[in-house]
């Protein structure tokens, strides 16, 4: 009996020592719709390995790519249930939590990456607390980039929009408002149904970044790209506050710092890849359509203002809209309209 008791005591002591040494492993279940092999996932795999290394194996990620965990709404629901802890979201998913964030995706608003960075940095600080009140920590931006229309019919003037059977991200009030104002016939679909719908002819137009068009192979079912961005699509990584607060302070600091570092690198690479992707698209048969008519360009600017106003009270306040417009105007007066 004394021998057994001694063994039990030894086991307890080693268990306590291990606990005090901080050997407990904390696992974060992370989901994304990004396909395996994409630049996003390559960076995430590097991120995963570095976190494990610098935390001495105490912090590990289990990554679910390729939309395994479903749509953004599915991922959001699973985070709230505690089935996953962190995920990537576009503006559509982020807007389900804090609608005001969609001001950053208003059509025909931003003209350059410098304008985007300037406004994003201000809005990030202001809206982060709103995410926290809803139970989520906004780790950092991971924008998708400028969004273009890919169609099977060339768009050169406003009336041409009427000839396209456009995909509409199901449940997205911003895209719906934009297409209503532009009078674009749109069919609501989840992202996972877009490629098949292009194949069958249910739709013949989509909106996406150049890199995204290649990664998801949507470009193979279209012929033209309107070389005039519809909007700039935001993205971000969220982690539940419950999971973040469950981590020891040192691991929490490592996670926050490294996540922001990697997201900054992902944004930098994403912007470069979007530029390179336009060349690749052209080499693979996509024809760029340029709007030369000044009257059409002016009309698109006016349509942008109409869309932004249409969303007041639905996504954001008149006060927020006017404030962002004023910030943007001041920036352009100081730095020039395009950078």
Predicted pLDDT of residue 12: 46
Q: What is the mean pLDDT of residues 295-323?
A: 96
Q: What is the mean pLDDT of residues 279-304?
A: 96
**Whole-model pTM?**
0.86
Structure tokens at 7: 């063994």
H or E stretch covering 194: helix 194-200
**Domain ranges for the chain:** 2-335
Q: Is the pLDDT of residue 289 over 70?
A: yes
The closest of 212, 251, 240, 237 to 44, measured between CA atoms, is: 237
Q: What is the mean pLDDT of residues 216-221?
A: 96
Per residue in 106-118, pLDDT (tens digit) is 999 999 999 999 9
Q: Which residues contact 152 (CB under 8 A, 6 or more apart)?
A: 164, 204, 205, 222, 223, 224
Euclidean distance between the first and the last CA atom of the chain, given in angstroms as a whole number = 80
Residue with tokens 């105007």: 329
* Average confidence score pLDDT of the chain: 91
> Residue 20, SS3?
helix
The closest of 108, 158, 161, 99 to 134, measured between CA atoms, is: 99
> Residue 126, SS3?
helix
What is the Cα Rg of the chain in Å? 23
| Residue 148 CB-density burial (10 A; 0-12 exposed, 13-18 middle, 19+ buried) | buried
Predicted pLDDT of residue 329: 94
Predicted pLDDT of residue 247: 97
Per residue in 192-206, pLDDT (tens digit) is 899 999 999 999 999
Confidence of residue 40 (pLDDT cuts 50, 70, 90): confident
Per residue in 147-177, pLDDT (tens digit) is 999 999 999 999 999 999 999 999 999 999 9
Would you tell me how many other CB atoms lie within 10 Å of the CB of residue 41? 18
Beta bridge partners of 240: 136
Quickly count helices (H) and strands (E) in the chain: 12, 12
Whether 182 contacts 247, CB under 8 Å: no
Task: Quote the Cα angle for 250-252-258, to 5°.
Answer: 100
CATH of 2-335, one of 3.20.20.70, 3.40.50.2000, 3.40.190.170, 3.10.20.30: 3.40.190.170
* CB burial string 160-193: b at 16+ within 10 A, e below: bbeebbbbbbbebbbbbbbbebbebebeebbbee
Distance CA 175, CA 311 (A): 10
In angstroms, how far is CA 164 from the centroid of its own chain?
25
Q: Which residues contact 133 (CB under 8 A, 6 or more apart)?
A: none
| Residue 327 CB-density burial (10 A; 0-12 exposed, 13-18 middle, 19+ buried) | middle
Residue with tokens 């990697």: 262
Handedness of CA 147, 149, 155, 157 (dihedral sign): negative
H or E stretch covering 313: none
Predicted pLDDT of residue 2: 54
**Half-sphere exposure at residue 252, Cβ-oriented, CA atoms within 13 angstroms:** 12
Beta bridge partners of 63: 30
């Amino acid at each position: 009996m004394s021998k057994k008791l001694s063994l039990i005591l030894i086991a307890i002591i080693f268990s306590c020592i291990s606990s005090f040494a901080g050997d407990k492993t904390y696992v974060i279940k992370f989901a994304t719709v990004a396909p395996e092999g994409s630049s996003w996932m390559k960076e995430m795999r590097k991120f995963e390995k570095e976190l494990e290394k610098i935390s001495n194996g105490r912090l590990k990620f289990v990554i679910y790519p390729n939309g395994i965990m479903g749509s953004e709404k599915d991922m959001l629901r699973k985070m709230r249930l505690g089935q996953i802890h962190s995920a990537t979201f576009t503006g559509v998913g982020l807007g389900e939590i804090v609608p005001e964030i969609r001001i950053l995706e208003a059509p025909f608003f931003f003209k350059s990456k410098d304008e985007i960075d300037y406004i994003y940095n201000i809005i990030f600080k202001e809206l982060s607390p709103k995410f926290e009140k809803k139970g989520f920590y906004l780790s950092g931006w991971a924008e998708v980039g400028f969004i273009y229309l890919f169609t099977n019919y060339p768009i050169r003037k406003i009336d041409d929009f009427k000839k396209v059977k456009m995909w509409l991200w199901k449940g997205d009030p911003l895209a719906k408002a934009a297409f209503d104002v532009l009078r674009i016939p749109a069919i609501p679909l989840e992202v996972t149904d877009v490629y098949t719908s292009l194949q069958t002819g249910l739709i013949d137009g989509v909106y996406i970044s150049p890199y995204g068009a290649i990664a998801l192979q949507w470009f193979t079912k279209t012929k033209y790209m309107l070389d005039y961005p519809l909007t700039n699509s935001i993205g971000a990584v969220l982690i539940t506050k419950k999971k973040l607060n469950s981590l020891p302070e040192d691991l929490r600091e490592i996670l926050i710092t490294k996540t922001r570092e990697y997201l900054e690198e992902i944004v930098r690479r994403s912007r470069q890849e979007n530029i390179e992707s336009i060349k690749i698209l052209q080499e693979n048969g996509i024809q760029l359509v340029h709007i030369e008519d000044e009257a059409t360009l002016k009309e698109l600017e006016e349509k942008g203002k109409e869309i932004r106003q249409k969303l007041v009270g639905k996504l954001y306040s008149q006060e927020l809209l006017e404030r962002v417009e004023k910030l943007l105007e001041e920036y352009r007066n100081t730095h020039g309209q395009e950078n």
